[in-house]
Amino acid sequence: MNWTRRKTIGRGSSATVYAATCQDSGETIAVKSADFHRSEFLQREAKILSSLNSPYVIGYRGCEVTKEPLNNGEATYNLLMEYAPYGTLIDAAAKNGGFLEETRVASYTRQILLGLQYIHNSEGIAHCDIKGSNVLVGDNGEAKIADFGCAKWDEPEVTEPVKGTPAFMAPEVARGERQGKESDIWAVGCTVIEMATGSSPWIGADSTDPVSVMYRVGYMGESPELPSSLTEQAKDFLGKCLKKEANERWTATQLLNHPFLITKPNTEPGLVTKSPTSVTDQMFWRSVEEEEEDDEERPSWWECHEERIGLLSWIGQVVMEPTWDTDGEDWITVRRNND
């Protein structure tokens, strides 16, 4: 496919995302790019995304290796995707005054679960990093699961190091025991809280400290607090997501039949009432200034916490990089370093 790279629209821990134009069709697409020699996660993401096809999962458009001046002529790996014009659920909450009203939370949650039902049941894949900033809003205002950089085929007999974002980790993940479809459901519960409150699922003095939160969820038996602003129905729904025992959590299919999701008025499509009309407008909603961390230079966060992280024995071989800072907090994505 011939395409022209345009503006940067997002920057994560592992790659930079650009808007691009397809020369033949004029369609705007999103291109997620990384240095070829540091593109292991992006290649894995492309492989998984290429096997998926759902209105609630960001669409795959191909992958290419290019040599471009922006990377000093070095090889760049590019994942081509459907472009989501309205940003992430975090952007949607920010634009709505910081959080989303319950009807809208229910609508997005239903769509996330439709996406998860598809990837869990049809494809046997666990996403492993569900959170508001990894769910995009599509053309018709529908939620689309994105960022499959941590995803994996969910095979109970295969043990892999856990990945994802500490604030959204289920107890069994925080303990490094297992990560699968059930852990995605816990993360859905955390994402509902995030949408409804506009902030991290964890509150309290040490809630911005990933190691403390992992200890609280993994070893102290704590769960995120249910927001008092939510209805009893919504709280009951959260209770089914946030069960401490993974095998007691409801599945995506069961949750789709919960009254929280089926008694709310259907507000889709067209949830977005005031839409940006161009990529430039959309940039206004996003923070793209975050500097990429150099793998060679560990972030100061790491230096502060290295000793404590060593206490959580499973985490000895992972890289932790700051990626999430919508309201001054410092959540991170954890991925294994294979270098």
Residue 34 C-alpha from the chain's centroid: 18
Q: How far is the CB of 49 from ligand ATP (least distance, A)?
A: 10
Instruction: For residue 180, give the DSSP letter.
Output: S
Q: How far is the CB of 190 from ligand ATP (least distance, A)?
A: 15
Residue 12 engages ligand ATP in binding (rule: CB under 6 A): yes
Q: How far is the CB of 15 from ligand ATP (least distance, A)?
A: 4
Residue 286 engages ligand ATP in binding (rule: CB under 6 A): yes
Of 24, 35, 91, 129, catalytic: 129
Pairing of strands 331-336, 135-137: unpaired
Residue 200 engages ligand ATP in binding (rule: CB under 6 A): no
Structure tokens at 86: 């309205």
Q: In the window 143-162, what residues touch ligand ATP (CB under 6 A)?
A: 146-147, 149
Q: In the window 48-67, what residues touch ligand ATP (CB under 6 A)?
A: 58
Closest CA to 284 of 276, 293, 292, 274: 276
Question: Candidates 79-87, 104-112, 171-179, 210-218 — which segment interacts with ligand ATP by CB under 6 A?
Answer: 79-87
Q: What is the helix (H) or strand (E) element at residue 3, kind and residue range?
A: strand 3-11
Residue 172 engages ligand ATP in binding (rule: CB under 6 A): no
Q: In the window 215-274, what residues touch ligand ATP (CB under 6 A)?
A: none
Residue with smaller CB distance to ligand ATP, 16 or 251: 16
* Options 30, 162, 185, 246; binder of ligand ATP; rule CB under 6 A: 30
209 is catalytic: no
Q: How far is the CB of 108 from ligand ATP (least distance, A)?
A: 15
> How far does the chain reach from its first CA to its final CA, in angstroms?
32
Give bridge partners of residue 45 from the DSSP assignment. Answer: none
Q: How far is the CB of 220 from ligand ATP (least distance, A)?
A: 26
Question: Within 10 A of 128 (CB to CB), how many other CB atoms are there?
Answer: 26
Residue 169 engages ligand ATP in binding (rule: CB under 6 A): no
Contact (Cβ atoms closer than 8 angstroms) between residue 191 and residue 168: yes
**DSSP letters for 226-295:** PPTTS-HHHHHHHHHHS-SSGGGSPPHHHHTTSHHHHSS----S---SS---SHHHHHTT----PPPPPT
Q: In the window 105-134, what residues touch ligand ATP (CB under 6 A)?
A: 133-134
Dihedral sign for Cα atoms in the order 286, 302, 216, 310: positive
Cα distance between residue 262 and residue 318, in whole Å: 40
* Options 213, 271, 333, 334; binder of ligand ATP; rule CB under 6 A: 333
Q: Is 32 annotated as a binding residue?
A: yes
Q: In the window 295-324, what residues touch ligand ATP (CB under 6 A)?
A: 323
Catalytic site residues? 129
Interface residues with ligand ATP (CB under 6 A)?
Answer: 9-10, 12-15, 17, 30, 32, 58, 81-84, 87-88, 133-134, 136, 146-147, 149, 286, 323, 333
